[in-house]
Structure 1
């Protein structure tokens, strides 16, 4: 089977690494890929939002399965694009159609969906620019802290947690009136702040059947002890100690099953991943958000724990026979530390030569923002540069492996958090 992965980050390198091990995979392509995917697949030089080039590549390389990594092409309708083209209709895709992608593409849609189908979530209201004064009045009578979310895709930066009323008022003005997030902020969801411990649960569905993949906890803020600006993710851990069998059973019954039955009831054929961002509030799960793809860097701790053939898992999903597939999960602990460019998540420089990666042993190294320079040296090409995953029988050893690898990789301006997983070690104590 010829397989194409869309995307260029650590998630896509992890997908490519796992799929390349399968006897089911004949040829593997990644568009546009990075320096890491180039070692296990053929990179194709076009953007994942360039549907015309995607069409040509799929037909030229006789691709039978397309796995969509990022959310953007899904929200932009890549699945619908394939379904509407007579020459592409037979090709299978892992990812929902545009209707299903609204779960991530519109916070307002997802909140309405949860309320309609009885899925536990924070109380909220949505406001447009015409309702700006109403929004201010809502904030004035709301308990603090309060959460404001841009309705559309805002590259992970569209969520503001305001501790003070004046901060919330300012955020609402910037989103609705000043266009801080462009079209993504045409609507703003204002919701209650949930106090608890955050984690993510990942579901894979073929539209009828589903499998729950290993859960993970990620670390969003740039600074240690969860301080500073939000990022795309500075590290992740799987499994999550506080998510015991009893809690995960509640997640399945109160969130996963109602979500899948709700999609069916609403006439949405959903094939692919559902990333459920959860808050554990005194042992009860509340949904913070849905994503319609795997998380990054969570994928870099979830995939090393999946012992089954991942390409066969993808093929079973695409064919609608996921119930025939046995998912085997390792009991070991995986921890990933993300090394980032100096200045990230603000302005940062690219093109810094990366060294030291050849010295790394017994750790999975996933490239994210990397490429090759004119001398074919691996150089930085993004804010998040690499994810380094340690797997061990204990959380402490997995942390040690991951952190040592993060110290070993070198490039000018490198930064990483040194406390990934440490909160869970303290939680365990």
Structure 2
């Protein structure tokens, strides 16, 4: 089997490391890859959002399956691109279609989905440039600290947690009026702050059945001692020491099962990984 992994991060390096160990893997390509992935397969320099070039790579290397790591090409519709092309549509793509990818690509879409299917989440409201005054009023109604999230993808950097109300209002203005995170912050989700410890769950699904992967505790802040602004990730620990069977069962019953069932109820086909960012509040996910 010839495999193409799209992406250039640690996630894609982990994929390459594991796929390289499989006797079913004949040739392994990573695009664009990195210095780590080069040890396990052939790196191909390309832009993961250049679907026409990806098509050329897939056909010229007789690729049998494509695993998509980053969110960008999924949100931009790479799976739909394959399905719409007669030469590509028989090649499996591990990653959701464009509409389903909004679960990761739009904070508002994800929040609406969670509320619709009774999946525990913090209360919130969404605001645009036109409704910024209502955003200020919503901030006034909350207790500090204040959580502001760019609705779209911002490389893991679009979440701000701010202690001061006036600073939160200034940041809201900067996000909406001054495009602090570009198009990603054309809409901003403001959430109530939940005080707890974070962890992440990972689920692979074909839209009907699912497999739960080992959980992780990721560290996103840029500074020592878990301080400073968020990044796409500075490091992670897996498995999570405090995630006992009782907690993992709660996560599956309260969040994972309702998510997969919700996708079915909404008639949203989903093939690929579901990333679930969690916070434990009084040992409840």
Superposition map of 1:177-192 within 5 A: 177-192=177-192
Cα distance in structure 2, aligned partners of 1:232 and 1:155: 6
Tell me whether 1:149 sits opposite 2:126 in the alignment.
no
Match of 2:125 in 1: 125
Structure 2: unaligned runs, 5 residues or longer:
none
Cα distance in structure 2, aligned partners of 1:229 and 1:113: 27
State the Cα distance separating 1:67 from its structure 2 match.
0.3
Match of 1:63 in 2: 63
User: Counterpart of 1:132 in 2: which secondary structure?
Assistant: helix
TM-score by length of 2: 0.98
State the Cα distance separating 1:222 from its structure 2 match.
1.9
Cα distance in structure 1, aligned partners of 2:159 and 2:31: 29
Cα distance in structure 2, aligned partners of 1:250 and 1:87: 44
Match of 1:273 in 2: 273
Superposition map of 1:161-240 within 5 A: 161-240=161-240
Deviations 1:84-130 (A, max 9, x none): 00110000011000011000111010000000000000000011111
Match of 1:5 in 2: 5
State the Cα distance separating 1:229 from its structure 2 match.
2.4
Structure 1 stretches of 4+ moved >6 Å? none
TM-score by length of 1: 0.66
Cα distance in structure 2, aligned partners of 1:233 and 1:43: 23
Superposition map of 1:6-405 within 5 A: 6-285=6-285
Equivalent residues of 2:103, 2:109 under 8 A apart: yes
Structure 1: unaligned runs, 5 residues or longer:
286-429
Report how many aligned residue pairs link the two structures.
285
Cα distance in structure 2, aligned partners of 1:27 and 1:71: 24
State the Cα distance separating 1:249 from its structure 2 match.
0.4
Cα distance in structure 2, aligned partners of 1:229 and 1:194: 18
Equivalent residues of 2:31, 2:48 under 8 A apart: yes
State the Cα distance separating 1:83 from its structure 2 match.
0.4
Larger Rg belongs to: 1
CA RMSD of aligned residues (A): 0.9
Deviations 1:111-169 (A, max 9, x none): 00000000000000011111011111111121111101010011111111111101110
Deviations 1:239-277 (A, max 9, x none): 112111001101000000000011111111101111100
Match of 1:389 in 2: none
